[in-house]
Amino acid sequence: MNSFNFRTVSNIHVEFGGADRLGETISSWLPATKVLAVTDRFLHQSGLIDGFKSSLDRNGYPVVVFDAVEADPAEEIVRTCRDLAVAEGVGIVIGIGGGSSMDVAKVVAALARTDQEIASAYGIGNLIGDRLPLIQIPTTAGTGSEVTAISILTTGEKTKMGIVADQLYADRVLLDAALTLGLPKLHTAATGIDAMVHAIEAYTSIHLKNPISDMLAREALRLLSANLLAVCTDGNDVKAREAMLLGAMFAGQAFANAPVAAVHALAYPLGGQFHIPHGLSNALMLGPVLEFNATKAAPLYAELADALGVVRVGRADDDARSVIARLLTLTRESGAPQRLRDVGVPADAIPLLARDAILQTRLLKNNPVPLDEAAIIAIYERAH
């Protein structure tokens, strides 16, 4: 066995309704102090986090809310949030929401104790110093950001960059499926498929793939594929929502250690150029990238058949085709858009998208099949 190293967060708590008891839960861990809740305006105004705030207040943790997080958060959002954290003298940062809110919370917790500029933090291992205590609470079952050590920010107008550092692993994660009930169908579908992409790409990553990430990826796919259509059909199916939340977290742990690859590399420009949500971008690129990779990765795709409920015939190429067909059926039946043209991406934008995607070397190097710009253009054309 090749040597490997596996990292994850130190404490994961799973409890339906647990957000409404958060103050009681953390009182035995941290002394009373001011809390910064990092979220988006919709969640704040919807009242979904009112119980969470009340629980913290009752237990001596006054809450300051930063609710200006947007999809594909820009550096300026992080700077504004950090300034608030410093001005208010907060002692705990809590990210509550989707991946964008949790990504911002990670960076703010790390930068609130230092004078480091964001630009110097991009890349791997470039954060300096320690961070504030950090709690992550996802309200979607998709990104897995709650258990990863990476934050993706939008730089300039249309490009994205990542900060990867051990300081971004949260101290505690709370999985409360009550916060995901009633999530709209399209958002549910896109985030669920996003989580499946994480599992698949972790399983086929050519760098850092290991037995623990493989185990988590398989179980993530089993839970996600078995429950995706249920949560898209009935947004209040508690058992299915809990399974999706757990599956997304397993997938997050998998790809935090065995990094994602070409699906994400080709999805990022869709978000940067056309502001397509990250989960939906991944859903749109999943099939074309898997079909491209199958020339080499078919044996690995075939190994995922059982997790997806696909009957194997014992020939890797045939089993891989069945796995890809199953995934495409799930995306179609979930109601997610199937083609780039369905979400307003014109064909003449493909060369621009390819030029952006080829720059995602951090991701492309993990892909089981090397890609050049011509191959990327062909994949986008197939997706269109």
Q: How many CB atoms lie within 10 A of CB 219?
A: 17
Q: Cα(4)–Cα(72) distance, rounded to whole angstroms?
A: 32
CATH placement of domain 12-180: 3.40.50.1970
Backbone φ, ψ for residue 372 (5° rounding): -110, 180
Query: In what side-by-side order are the strands of the sheet with 159-164?
Result: 123-124, 159-164, 150-155
For the chain, give every domain's residue range.
12-180, 185-383
Any idea which residue has 């420009």 for tokens? 269
Residue 325 has a pLDDT of 95
Helix crossing, 373-383 with 262-274: angle to 10°? 70
Write phi, then psi, for 18 (nearest 5 degrees): -65, -25
Confidence at residue 228, expressed as pLDDT on a 0 to 100 scale: 97
Record the tokens describing residue 123, joined without a space: 């890349």
Nearest to 260 by CA among 217, 318, 316: 217
Sequence-ordered list of residues with C-beta below 8 angstroms from that of 263, at least 6 positions apart, any chain: 197, 200, 201, 282, 285, 286, 289, 290
pLDDT reported for residue 98: 93
Q: Give the pLDDT confidence score for residue 296 in this predicted structure.
A: 95
Q: Put the strands of the sheet holding 63-66 in their side by side order.
A: 12-14, 172-175, 134-138, 92-97, 35-38, 63-66
Q: Which residues of the chain have pLDDT under 70?
A: 157-158
pLDDT of residue 160: 78
Give pLDDT, residue 173: 98
Q: What are phi and psi of 374, to 5 degrees?
A: -65, -40
pLDDT at 275: 86
3-state secondary structure 65-91: EECCCCCCCEHHHHHHHHHHHHHHCCC
Contact 146, 102 (CB under 8 A): yes
* Backbone angles phi and psi of 40, in degrees to 5: -110, 165
DSSP assigned state of 273: H
Rg (CA), the chain: 20
pLDDT at 182: 86
CATH class in words for 185-383: mainly alpha
pTM: 0.95
Note the pLDDT of residue 271.
Answer: 87
Cα 360 from Cα 5, distance rounded (Å)? 24
